[in-house]
Amino acid sequence: MSPEAARHAGGGLQAALGGKPYVLANIGDDADVAFVSRDVTGLSTKHAVLPHTQRFHDALRSAPSLKWVHAHSSGADRPVYGDLIARGVAVTTSSGANAGVVVQTALAGVLMLARCFPQLLAAQRNRSWAPLVGSGLPRDLAGQTAVIVGWGPIGRGMASLLAALGLHVVAVRSTDGAAEPPASETVSYERIGEVLPRADWLVLCCPLTERTRGLIDAAALARLPAGVRLVNVARGEVAEEPPLIDALRRGALAGAYLDVFAHEPLPAESPLWDMPNVIVTPHTAGHSDGNEMRVAAIFLDNLRRWTEGQPLLNRV
C-alpha cells in the first residue's frame, strides 16, 4: 500500500482490534502473517518478476513461522503461493476488490466488438467515412448467447449486465448444478464442449487452475460456430494462444478483446497487435484508483477474523 493507504489501514486495524498493539512491517527473518501488496509486485508479471518481488517471495518461503499470507490480487497463480499452500500456509486473495471494474471493462469490450468499434476507429484514423450500413450491419445483442466461463464476482456481474441487454447466459463453473440466475443453465468446466456450439460470445473470467489451464484449446475453438467473439479477462493461459491466433486469422473467430496473455508484456512481434478484429489492452482491466482501499478493507476484515479465530474469506 501507499503510505497514505497504510495510515488509513493502520487506523482501521487499530479500531478493529479494539486498540490492541499491532505491527505492520516488512518481512525480516520470520513472520506469522504477510500482506503481499502492490508495493511488492509493482508492475511485474508472472514471467518477469522484479528483484525486490523475488526477495519478498524468498522471504515468504523461508519464514518458518508463517501461517497466513494475503495477496492484493484476485488470483493466486504465482508459484510462490502454491509453494506456501503445500507447506500448510493459508493463502487468501482480494477476490472481489476489483470485480466491478473488470466487469465494466469486459462489458466495454463486448460493446466495442458488437458495435464494430475496431473498424470504426480504423476508419477514423484514415479519415474515412465508413457507415456500418454500407459494410454489413451488426447483429442485435438481444437474443444472442453468452457462455461465461467462471462464476465468481466477475462472471456473475457480467451475467447480470448481459442478461439485462437481452442475452441468454450459460455459466461454466467448477461444479455442475442447478442454474443460478441470471444464468439459465450451468455446466462444469469439463462439460464446456457441450455448450460451445451455441455460443455467440465466449467470456473468460475464471481463475487459472489446473482445470482451467488450456481450457480453450484448438479442440474447444473448433466447436465454436463461425462468427463468435471472445473476451478474456481471466488469464492468458486459459486460452491457448497459437490456435486462438489461427482462428482469428481465418475468421473462425469474428473478433476478440484480450486483456491477458500467456507472456506479459505481450511481445512486440505478436500478430495480435495488428489484427483488425482484435482489441489488446495491457492486463489493465481491473485497474482503478479505488482498488487500493478495497484491498485494504478485505485484508483488515481477514486480519480481524485471524485474531478472533474465525474462518478466513477468499481462502485459496
What is the rounded end-to-end Cα distance, in angstroms, of the chain? 22
Residue among 57, 168, 173, 235 flagged as catalytic = 235
| 305 flagged as catalytic | no
Distance of CA 143 to the CA centre of its chain: 26
Nearest CA-CA partner of 90 in 12, 35, 45: 35
Question: Which residues, in sequence order, are bridge partners of residue 29?
Answer: none
Nearest CA-CA partner of 89 in 2, 166, 27: 27
What does the block give as the cell for 197? 456450439
Element (H, E) at 300: helix 291-308
Give yes or no for a contact between 36 and 56, defined as CB atoms under 8 angstroms apart: yes
Q: Which residue has the cell 466491478?
A: 100
| 292 flagged as catalytic | no
| 283 flagged as catalytic | yes
Question: Which residues, in sequence order, are bridge partners of residue 315?
Answer: 92
Residue among 180, 185, 194, 264 flagged as catalytic = 264
Residue among 72, 156, 168, 283 flagged as catalytic = 283
* Separation of alpha carbons 154 and 112, rounded Å: 19
Distance of CA 311 to the CA centre of its chain: 24
Catalytic residue numbers, as ranges = 235, 264, 283
